[in-house]
């Protein structure tokens, strides 16, 4: 375990990098955005997630690469959502019409506090104040990354003192081969439904069957950049579940990643419009276990309301293996 200074933000706040390891797996986490910056597997000569060694990148184009996005990940259609029967307006940071990743007030832009560090784990904390971004409730958030024999696990918890909305996700991009694109990868998702989207990538409200579409990934199959286009939520369940395997990704190298999650959905984005500095498009797949996006605006979507007296708990686990 090491803790080093990664850099200083444009606002003058120091950012730390915490490196943890166990059993041949090593991960680096930045306090800026609670960002998963690096994941290395013994015997594999490349990083499995897309990151940067430059803090300025994470304040710019890479603000969502590896970061923890809260209080609400993904989109609010029309930059608004009802909470307890009252409509709240939020920042319209996508096409000046919709809210994406809660805009400038998202946790991906914040520098978290280090609460606890061990050789194989780190816990980060911050408090989201009531009214920030027009979201109700004071919400102390706790995020723990821990490596065990079962892989790298992320646990996120929070509570609130007023009825609010909460839906968090890690927004890492993955490439099992260390190649220029994810061409040659295969993927499987335990979902028989998905959410069609508008031209602005907001859910239409329809819950559609994957059968007969290129969203049918119920069996492991090859996926092709530009052919298999994804910026969609795959519906894993109708509400939070116990931790279970939900997605499998295999590179041409034979390196595999198995994702387990408690969440009701997983958003997959093909990276068609998100490139690291000096790199091309489709370099990695963003895979984001979360509740269904835009849920408050669609009857029949699982609720993301969090009330006083309740505790929100999200778990995602990544397991890696060599071919």
- Mapping DSSP onto H, E and C, the string for the chain reads CEEEEEEECCCCCEEEEEEEEECCEEEEEECECCEEEEEEECCCCCCCECCCCCHHHHCCCCCCCCCEECCECCEEHHHEEEECCEEEECCCCECCCEEECCHHHCHHHCECEEEEEECCEEEEEEEECCCHHHCCCCEEEEEEEEEECCEEEEEEEECCCCCEECECEECCEECCCCCCCCCCCEEEECCCEECCECCCCCECCCCEECCCCCCCCCCCEECCCCCCCCEEEEECCCCCCCCEEEEEEECCCCCEEEEEECCCEEEEECCCCCCCCCCCCCCCEEEEEECCCCHHHCCCCCCCEECCCCCEEEEEEEEEECC
Q: What's the pLDDT score for residue 85? A: 94
Q: What's the pLDDT score for residue 180? A: 97
Q: What's the pLDDT score for residue 17? A: 98
Q: What's the pLDDT score for residue 323? A: 82
Q: What's the pLDDT score for residue 275? A: 92
Q: Any idea what the CATH number is for the domain that residue 272 is in?
A: 2.70.98.10
Q: What's the pLDDT score for residue 202? A: 97
Domains of the chain: total: 1
Q: What is the domain range of residue 128?
A: 2-321
Q: Which residues of the chain have pLDDT under 70?
A: none
């Amino acid at each position: 375990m090491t803790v080093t200074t990664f850099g200083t933000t444009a606002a003058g706040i120091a950012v730390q990098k915490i490196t943890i390891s166990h059993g041949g797996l090593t991960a680096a986490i930045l306090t800026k955005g609670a960002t998963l910056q690096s994941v290395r597997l013994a015997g594999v000569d490349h990083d499995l997630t897309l990151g940067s060694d430059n803090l300025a990148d994470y304040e710019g184009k890479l603000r969502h690469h590896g970061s923890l996005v809260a209080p609400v990940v993904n989109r609010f259609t029309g930059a608004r959502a009802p909470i307890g029967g009252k409509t709240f307006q939020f920042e319209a940071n996508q096409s000046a019409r919709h809210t994406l990743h809660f805009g400038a007030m998202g946790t991906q832009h914040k520098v978290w506090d280090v609460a606890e560090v061990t050789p194989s784990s780190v816990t980060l904390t911050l408090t989201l104040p009531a009214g920030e971004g027009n979201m109700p409730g004071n919400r102390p958030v706790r995020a723990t990354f821990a490596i065990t024999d079962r892989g790298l696990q992320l646990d996120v918890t929070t509570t609130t003192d007023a009825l609010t909305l909460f839906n968090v996700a890690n927004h890492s991009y993955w490439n099992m081969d260390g190649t220029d694109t994810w061409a040659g990868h295969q993927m499987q998702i335990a979902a028989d439904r998905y959410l069609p989207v508008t031209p602005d990538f907001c859910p239409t409200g329809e819950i559609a069957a994957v059968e007969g579409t290129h969203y049918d990934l119920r069996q492991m199959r090859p996926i092709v950049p530009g052919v298999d286009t994804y910026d969609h939520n795959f519906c894993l369940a109708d509400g939070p579940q116990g931790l279970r395997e939900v997605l499998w990704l295999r590179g041409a190298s034979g390196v595999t990643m198995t994702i387990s999650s408690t969440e009701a959905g997983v958003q997959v984005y093909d990276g068609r419009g998100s490139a690291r500095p000096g790199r091309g498009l489709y370099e990695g797949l963003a895979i984001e276990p979360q509740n269904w996006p835009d849920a408050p605006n669609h009857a029949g979507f699982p609720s993301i309301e969090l009330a006083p007296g309740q505790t929100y708990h999200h778990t995602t686990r990544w397991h890696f293996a060599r071919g």
